[in-house]
Structure 1
Amino acid sequence: MRNIISGASAAVLAAGGIAAAANDPSSGERPVGLISKAAPAAGGAAQGNGVFTAAPDMAKGAHKKPVPATPVKTNSKDKPVYLIKGLDPWPSPTPGVSCRNYWGPLLDALGNEGWATNNGDRRMVGFYAGDHIDCDTRIAEGDQNTAITTLGLKLARHIHDNYSKKGQSVDIVAHSMGGLIARSALTGVQRGLPGYPKYLFVEDVVTISTPHAGSDSATWCAGTVLYSVRQCRQMKPGSGFMRWLGNSAPQGQGGTDWTLIGGYDDAQVSPRSSVDGMHGVKHRVRYESGQGLGHSTINITLKGTYRQQYDNGSGWKTVRNGAAPARAAMNALYWSRAW
């Protein structure tokens, strides 16, 4: 199974009868438990309700070139990583956040542990007009009324133009609404919709607390005067956008390996949506309650061990010293396919 672990120590830990060496995944060792180290170590517009996006201004013939050979899937830290944040819940003419603050510990770990060694390949995606300059990959200058499909189209173009057309795969880690942006990008490409690239090479996608089946908090958000914005409406269970997405994991050219992470301490998105809300997923991790892994902390919790259940396609298993969520995300990126 994929090594959802971390750390440089060679200590052997046991949990629930499952033992594993707590090594960094790049060591090549494949333990069987989800064990963590004990010490730190452009263009297009939404139409109607925003569930279909076209880009009539695309250059003619832009995709007539031959599709590059599908990159070989490898266990490595070398692929560019897109970090896609979620909804800014506060009403403002120019909403936005600091991506550095949003992803801090995970971003530091990627750099310190040699992931995507070209710093420009650790991409923090911004899409609000008020996003800080540290959101170094700006796909839009929108607000909470910018359709998620519009953002997905722009993300698809960015990945294609910077990597896929050069025959290079990328990985994605997305939190909350960011996971729906990633799904939207791959869905549009897979369906061959107007304006989307003809192909994308996306090897791994990890979503953390993403409302794959919608969120009751989005229902509340969309029902209030101040918060009745399109992005909230689109994330309501049963919305036109959610129906457009469907319930299956979209695939890039050559296949995309999905890992879904969520937890019971998340009051905004329950594991029923974040972990069980999409079909065709090989890897799922859900964290038990009472561990402080709320919606705004689960994506940056990197250290320590946590009670969790995981499923790699052969049924749910429980461990008491599982990897922290952000650490689990990193390891999910490392292994190209199999747990």
Structure 2
Amino acid sequence: MHKLARSLSLIGAIVAATLIATATAASAAPARADGHRVTVMVHGFDREADISCSGAWNSARNLLNGNGWGDVVTFGYYNKATNCDLRLRGTTDTRIQEVGRQFAWTVYYLYSSKDIAIDVVTHSMGGLVAKAAIEGVNRYGVGKTPPDISGLTVDPDDIGATDWPRDWPPFLYIEDMVTFATPHQGIGSALVTACAITHEQCSDMRPGSGFISWLGKQPQSQMSTDYTFLASRHDDTVSVDSATNKRTAHHWALYDENASGGTLSHTSIRNTSTGDWQVEYGGSASEEGESSTYAAPLVRMMDGLYDQQAQ
């Protein structure tokens, strides 16, 4: 059983019974805290739809918990996903935009409507889900009157059963987002092309798909959102340009080898917290990247969530 800290008292209440919440209109966006926000973690695509949230995020979660982050929450979006604090019972045919809409309402219901800002950490397709939540709100929710959701009940193990309003929330407060190996520009491999025949989420992830074209680069939540994209030159699933969105993030890092010649795969980049790594890094304010010895990806994740403005 995961240790749930103060923000998860909200979730504990709905686990015990069901949480009834009354949304209020936002008075003003929360100020940047550059500190230990509630952090929500979103996993990536899984062809069998049976990913374990704890298995995907144990290394990252333990590191955050050990360094002052008490409020770390996992969000899963498959019906066979296990050990998730919050779960949408979707399938690999649930379009990424719809997963993003469900994620947006979940974040709004638990946090934004209560003027609580959060940070988000994602792996692979999870980054597209989180960005879709912000993009959908910006396109279809902003400017609308906050809905009365006081009569809703939410089961954290079946988020999709909630009778959400049919459109999108009116605002979201997401301060920082860190993505590991996310295909911001899609995945052009033959494997994904074949997968797209039978799995709608793979179809969405093809370069130039309607979804990728709709999504945009770094959509901003209503308190602005600072992005850090972490990628590996040795990722055999997502290209360098896609994982860094052609180096357009506020902060990006492209990992090569460590001192022993070790490399990071599409999966291991989200689990690695030790070693000195050769990395090219930069940001949207830089004309080009620099190369140097750099901290491990999970350490850089913490930088992306804490005191980012000083980076």
- TM-score normalised by the chain length of structure 2: 0.79
Please say if 1:89 is aligned against 2:62.
no
Please show how residues 179-198 of structure 1 align to structure 2 within 5 Å.
179-193=127-141, 195-198=167-170
> How many residues in Structure 1 have an aligned counterpart in Structure 2?
261
Does the C-alpha gap of structure 1 residues 224 and 213 become closer, same or farther in structure 2, counting only changes over 3 Å? closer
1:75 paired residue number: 34
Which has a greater percent of strand?
1
Please say if 1:201 is aligned against 2:201.
no
Please say if 1:238 is aligned against 2:208.
yes
CA contact (8 A) 1:82 1:122 kept: yes
**78, 95, 101: which one aligns with 1:147:** 95
* In structure 2, distance between residues paired with 1:278 and 1:182: 19
* In structure 1, distance between residues paired with 2:173 and 2:308: 13
Q: Which amino acid aligns with 1:126?
A: G
2:11 paired residue number: none
Q: Which amino acid aligns with 1:309?
A: E
CA contact (8 A) 2:232 2:240 kept: yes
CA contact (8 A) 1:169 1:202 kept: yes
Give 1:191 deviation, angstroms.
1.3
CA contact (8 A) 1:222 1:229 kept: no
Does the C-alpha gap of structure 1 residues 141 and 283 become closer, same or farther in structure 2, counting only changes over 3 Å? same
Give 1:303 deviation, angstroms.
1.1
Give 1:66 deviation, angstroms.
2.9
CA contact (8 A) 2:256 2:263 kept: no
SS of equivalent residue, structure 2 residue 178: strand
Percent of residue pairs identical: 33
1:306 paired residue number: 277
SS of equivalent residue, structure 1 residue 288: strand
CA contact (8 A) 2:231 2:253 kept: yes
Q: Deviations over 1:18-42 (max 9, x none)?
A: xxxxxxxxxxxxxxxxxxxxxxxxx
* In structure 1, distance between residues paired with 2:43 and 2:56: 7
1:108 paired residue number: 62
CA contact (8 A) 1:221 1:228 kept: no
Does the C-alpha gap of structure 1 residues 327 and 284 become closer, same or farther in structure 2, counting only changes over 3 Å? same
Q: Which amino acid aligns with 1:243?
A: S
* In structure 1, distance between residues paired with 2:276 and 2:297: 9
Q: Which amino acid aligns with 1:110?
A: L
CA contact (8 A) 2:235 2:265 kept: yes
CA contact (8 A) 1:222 1:228 kept: no
Does the C-alpha gap of structure 1 residues 224 and 80 become closer, same or farther in structure 2, counting only changes over 3 Å? closer
Q: Deviations over 1:118-141 (max 9, x none)?
A: xxx311111101011x11111x10
Q: Deviations over 1:253-298 (max 9, x none)?
A: 121001111011100001110013474x211111125532000110
SS of equivalent residue, structure 1 residue 142: coil
* In structure 2, distance between residues paired with 1:327 and 1:300: 10
Stretches of structure 2 lacking an aligned partner (at least 5 in a row): 1-21, 142-165
CA contact (8 A) 1:164 1:199 kept: yes
1:282 paired residue number: 250
Give 1:142 deviation, angstroms.
1.0
CA contact (8 A) 1:213 1:278 kept: no
* In structure 2, distance between residues paired with 1:164 and 1:229: 32
Q: CA RMSD in A?
A: 1.8
Does the C-alpha gap of structure 1 residues 222 and 166 become closer, same or farther in structure 2, counting only changes over 3 Å? same
SS of equivalent residue, structure 1 residue 156: helix
* In structure 2, distance between residues paired with 1:163 and 1:308: 35
CA contact (8 A) 2:34 2:307 kept: yes
Please say if 1:176 is aligned against 2:124.
yes
Stretches of structure 1 lacking an aligned partner (at least 5 in a row): 1-61
1:259 paired residue number: 228
1:6 paired residue number: none
Q: Which amino acid aligns with 2:262?
A: Q
Please show how residues 11-26 of structure 1 align to structure 2 within 5 Å.
none
CA contact (8 A) 1:177 1:210 kept: yes
CA contact (8 A) 1:83 1:172 kept: yes
2:194 paired residue number: 223
Greater relative contact order structure (CA < 8 Å, 6+ sep)? 1
* In structure 2, distance between residues paired with 1:187 and 1:277: 19
CA contact (8 A) 1:106 1:300 kept: yes
* In structure 1, distance between residues paired with 2:139 and 2:172: 12
2:113 paired residue number: 165
Please say if 1:129 is aligned against 2:79.
yes
Which has a greater percent of helix?
2
Q: Which amino acid aligns with 1:111?
A: N
